[in-house]
Amino acid sequence: MNDWVRALGIDYGTARIGVSVSDDLGFLAHPLETVPGGDSEKASARIAELVRLRCIEHLVVGLPLHRNGEEGAAVGRVRAFVALLRPHLPEGITIHEIDEHRTTVSAMEKLHAAGRNAKNSRGIIDMAAAVEILQIWLDQRAGGMPPLGEPF
């Protein structure tokens, strides 16, 4: 396994898309930016640009599964966005799906612990959730466990 990891995490939303990036060693996820989600074409172009600029090899996408693991309409919206994004991505990139259940709650708890409230976290909560999504994948990868969900 290559010691260098270039991964981008995505917390998809129709209003905002949180984006995170891994450090090169694949230990930690860091917030990168929040992409406006209202125009899917522009959003996919921006994410594809980030992928190219940062030489990303793995795209980790959060799936909003129900508590029982079943898929709902929100999962379909995420996959539709990924389908729109895929043709803009470089060949060879691997897309991983991660159950994002509770990532926003976990991100908000961490922001609260850092002294932020819901109102002053609005602009960064999506990035923080993307960090949680990517960190799950990085931790699974480091532990030798395969990521949840199959690449598609």
Contact by Cβ (8 Å): 19, 9:
yes
Q: Give the pLDDT confidence score for residue 37 in this predicted structure.
A: 94
Per-residue pLDDT at 1:
45
Q: What is the largest CA-CA distance in the chain?
A: 42
Q: Which of 97-101, 116-120, 130-134, 140-144 bottoms out in mean pLDDT, i.e. has the lowest?
A: 116-120
**Which residues, other chains included, contact 72 with Cβ-Cβ below 8 Å and sequence gap of 6+?**
64, 65, 66
DSSP letter string over 50-116? HHHHTT--EEEEEE---TTS---HHHHHHHHHHHHHGGGSPTT-EEEEEE-TTHHHHHHHHHHHTT-
Superfamily designation of domain 7-142: YqgF/RNase H-like domain (3.30.420.140)
Domain boundaries, the chain: 7-142
pTM of the model: 0.84
